[in-house]
Amino acid sequence: MKKTIYDVAREANVSIATVSKVINNTGRIGEKTRQRVLQVMKELDYQPSLVASALTGKSTYSIGLLIPDLANPFFAELARSIEDRGHELGYSIVMCSTDYRPEKESKYISLLKQKSVDGFILASGFQNDAVIRDLLNLKIPIAVLARDVSTVSVDTVTVDDFIGGYNATQHLLDLGHQQIGAIQLDLEVGRERTRGYRHALQENGLEYDEKYVLFGPSSVEGGKQMGLKMLQAAERPTAIFAGNDLVAIGIIQAARELGLSIPDDVSVVGYDNTILAAISNPPLTTVAQPFHDMGRQVMDLLIEEIKGEKKGKKRVVMLPELCVRESTKRIRK
């Protein structure tokens, strides 16, 4: 049978209240009793039940993480950094991959609410503000990652996608490209990056041309399909700004299949700077997101919120950084 606080109390000849106090370092306990209790706890290998203590209104020390897809290297790295920071702070992470599906998102949230997690990190791409508002109304702490929820007052960590798109495009422009395509994610982040792309274009006196812009899923296969489509068009671009590294790699595969060389015939910029970018062939020029800091930041924000140490909400915006490798090149005459 598992040991309970009663076992310890009996063995140490004290009341359960006393044991509880030494466990939690509350109230005043004589040094001798404290030592005796500690001793007995050790002897019995007693571990207080967190579910019992949670029932009395204390924390469960677990937090729910909703993320699109653990199998995507970017999110895996992000999840890892969140997990690490969480554990440092004494919290366990319950992982939920949502596949960008609203139903899954709602389902997991309601499940984890029943489990009384102390809070949520919403790193899921999709989010109808309704679920966020719902959580907020219930006073359940949340922190939102990588998604700007401008209409709700909530702790947020984002990377400026507009700048990311702008920088990627500007880099291509600097290399002399004039026909620049964009194959972006069919998600909020994709639109925002596309805004940056558009802005850079216009700043350089170039038209935003819809035939050069495609939206699709976050996958190598998706990138390849869209890449084929764009590269086989009558006027093909000399450079493409991809939604993320996965998509960029798909585009490279498409180019290869069409006998086009990267970066000689077409330059490609990725996004996220995952391990894929470093090992792809050629190595990918990509927009790096500081996932390590991002994970740490959201976690810290959330914990502050949980501990009630905060007055208002915070909105942390980090900046992406262009990481130039070999998939982009000055355009040939």
Partner DNA sequence: TTGAAAGCGCTAACAT
Partner DNA sequence: ATGTTAGCGCTTTCAA
Question: Choosing among a second copy, DNA, none, which partner's interface includes residue 324 (Cβ < 5 to 8 Å by kind)?
Answer: none
Are 181 and 210 contacting, i.e. CB atoms less than 8 angstroms apart?
no
* Residue 154 CB partners (closer than 8 Å, separation 6+): 132, 136, 142, 143, 144, 313
Q: Applying CB under 7 A, does 253 fall inside the site for DNA?
A: no
Which tokens belong to 92? Answer: 């366990």
Nearer to DNA, 17 or 324 (CB): 17
Which residue in 257, 281, 259 sits closest to 268, CA to CA?
A: 281
Q: Applying CB under 8 A, does 278 fall inside the site for a second copy?
A: yes
CA angle 294-299-305, nearest 5°? 130
Question: Choosing among a second copy, DNA, none, which partner's interface includes residue 234 (Cβ < 5 to 8 Å by kind)?
Answer: none
User: CA-to-CA distance for 88 and 110, rounded, in angstroms?
Assistant: 26
Residue 22, amino acid: V
User: CA-to-CA distance for 66 and 21, rounded, in angstroms?
Assistant: 36
Question: Choosing among DNA, a second copy, none, which partner's interface includes residue 220 (Cβ < 5 to 8 Å by kind)?
Answer: a second copy
Shortest separation between residue 274's beta carbon and DNA, angstroms: 42
Q: Applying CB under 7 A, does 23 fall inside the site for DNA?
A: yes
Question: Choosing among a second copy, DNA, none, which partner's interface includes residue 42 (Cβ < 5 to 8 Å by kind)?
Answer: none
Which tokens belong to 93? Answer: 């992470």
Please work out the total of residues on this chain that contact a second copy, with binding judged by CB under 8 A. Answer: 47
Q: Applying CB under 8 A, does 276 fall inside the site for a second copy?
A: yes
Q: Applying CB under 8 A, does 288 fall inside the site for a second copy?
A: no
* Residue 308 CB partners (closer than 8 Å, separation 6+): none
In the shown chain, the binding pattern of residues 86 to 115 toward DNA, with x for contact by CB under 7 A and - for none, equals ------------------------------
User: CA-to-CA distance for 300 and 141, rounded, in angstroms?
Assistant: 12
Q: Which of 23, 38, 89, 94 binds a second copy (CB under 8 A)?
A: 94
SS3 of 271, please? strand
On the 0-12 / 13-18 / 19+ scale of CB atoms within 10 A, 152 is middle
Shortest separation between residue 4's beta carbon and a second copy, angstroms: 12
Give φ, ψ of 122 to 5 degrees.
-100, 100
Residue 254, amino acid: A
Q: Which of 20, 37, 40, 73 binds a second copy (CB under 8 A)?
A: 73
Residue 200, amino acid: A
* Residue 150 CB partners (closer than 8 Å, separation 6+): none
Residues 66 to 85: which contact DNA by CB under 7 A? Answer: none
Question: Choosing among a second copy, DNA, none, which partner's interface includes residue 24 (Cβ < 5 to 8 Å by kind)?
Answer: DNA
Nearer to a second copy, 31 or 45 (CB): 45
Binding site for DNA (CB under 7 A): 2, 4-6, 13-18, 20-21, 23-24, 26-30, 32-34, 48-49, 52-53, 55-58
Binding site for a second copy (CB under 8 A): 2, 47-52, 54-55, 60-62, 69-71, 73, 76-77, 79-80, 83-84, 87, 92-97, 108, 110-116, 138, 220, 249, 275-276, 278-282
